[in-house]
Amino acid sequence: MRLILLTLFRPRVAVGEFASRPRWLAAFVMLSVLSIVVSAFVYPQSVREMLTHLPSSATEADKQVLLQSLMGELPARLAFLPFRLFLGWGSFSLALLIVAKAFEPKEMVRFQQIFGLVVHTETISLFARVAALIDVTPPGLAGIIGGDRSFVVESLLRQLNVFTVWQIAVQIVVISILCGFGGVRSLVVVLLVWILFLSFNAGVARLLLDQFHFLI
């Protein structure tokens, strides 16, 4: 808990911890458990919203069948969630390490250090999910910037809110010190990876929507 608080509110102090003892297991276990609890509350709401976007040809019987099928998947989804988080955060960390090394860091940086950073900053993502659950999420750029946009662009803008900015800012500070980068180079490294992963997630969501013919 101490390292989580340092990472979120005093990232420059937390850098020493990531550099000397890149711990992540305790934070990962805690965030996994909390994510399971939050997901158990969020999932039914997400399913109900999903059903509202079915084509008009879908009957009430169709909706009930889909509802029961999706709700039946909840236990398996919750059981698999820690593995999905580990793979997702690990992939993000690996991409961040590869991009950082491409910019020729002045300091020796290891995967464990980057992974520890990513795991601890994912606490902010959990804050965002809790805020969405109680309907106090600050509006993303999608609510500020008007105009018609593609689904991918719309998805990207929706995810760019104060929580995302906070998470990115912390990662920029820590990466800058760990790698010996200037602020601009660290900003470019972190933003490149974020844009890559947000675009990938939006693309996957678009494929799923097209596959199941949801009207969004």
pLDDT of residue 189: 94
Can you give the pTM of this predicted structure?
0.78
Q: Exposed, middle or buried by CB within 10 Å (0-12, 13-18, 19+), for 78?
A: middle
Q: Distance between CA 17 and CA 19 in Å, rounded?
A: 5
Per-residue tens of pLDDT for the chain, all 216 residues:
788 888 899 888 888 888 888 789 999 999 999 999 998 888 777 767 666 666 666 667 766 766 677 777 788 889 999 999 999 999 999 999 999 999 988 888 899 999 999 999 999 989 888 887 776 555 555 455 555 545 455 556 666 778 888 999 999 999 999 999 988 999 999 999 998 888 777 666 566 555 544 444
The structure tokens 């678009």 sit at 206
Write down the pLDDT at residue 90: 95
The rounded mean pLDDT for the chain is: 80
pLDDT digits (tens, 9 = 90+) for 68-87: 777 777 888 899 999 999 99
Confidence at residue 84, expressed as pLDDT on a 0 to 100 scale: 92
pLDDT digits (tens, 9 = 90+) for 47-57: 676 666 666 66
**Tokens encoding 73:** 């998947």
Q: Which residues lie below 8 Å from residue 119, measured CB to CB, with a gap of 6+?
A: 24, 27, 28, 31, 89
Taken as a whole, the chain contains a residue count of: 216
Residue 33, pLDDT score: 95
**pLDDT of res. 156:** 60
